């Protein structure tokens, strides 16, 4: 005897997508996984250093610099959605991880500054 059929809800689709991406991460090669992780960490590192360095030198101060980085991140997202299909290549995964690391570093910096 089987259980009742489940509906395809948004939560169930999200869970299956996350499970599929987790399985892809486990099945990928060591090289791809390490490059993905390195790009995430490099994005975080560069954003931390550049934000503290450029805050003093950027014309318009912190607000202008964060707005410029936000526009750059939005451009990367728009470009990726137009050019990449369902399965992104390793290069696009690295660009996405750089973007995620940069965004995380900027949000963390904002929390540290209290703004």
Higher pLDDT, 88 or 97: 97
Higher pLDDT, 34 or 64: 34
Question: Does 49 reside within a domain?
Answer: yes
Question: Does 24 reside within a domain?
Answer: no
Question: Does 16 reside within a domain?
Answer: no
Is the pLDDT at 1 greater than 60? The verdict is: no
> What is the number of domains present in the chain?
1
Read off the pTM: 0.68
Domain containing residue 64: 30-113
Question: Does 7 reside within a domain?
Answer: no
Question: Does 103 reside within a domain?
Answer: yes
Is the pLDDT at 72 greater than 60? The verdict is: yes
Torsions phi, psi of 88, nearest 5?
-75, 150
d(CA 85, CA 87): 6
pLDDT of residue 108: 86
Over residues 4-32, the pLDDT tens digits come to 667 788 888 888 888 887 787 777 788 88
Closest by alpha carbon to 99, among 73, 67, 75? 73
């Amino acid at each position: 005897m089987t259980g009742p059929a489940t509906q395809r809800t948004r939560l169930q689709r999200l869970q299956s997508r996350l499970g599929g991406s987790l399985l892809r991460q486990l099945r990928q090669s060591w090289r791809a996984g390490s490059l993905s992780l390195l790009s995430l960490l490099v994005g975080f590192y560069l954003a931390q250093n550049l934000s503290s360095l450029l805050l003093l030198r950027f014309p318009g101060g912190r607000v202008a610099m964060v707005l410029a980085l936000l526009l750059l991140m939005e451009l990367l997202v728009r470009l990726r959605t137009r050019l990449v299909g369902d399965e992104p290549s390793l290069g696009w995964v690295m660009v996405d991880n750089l973007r995620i690391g940069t965004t995380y570093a900027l949000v963390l910096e904002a929390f540290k500054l209290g703004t």
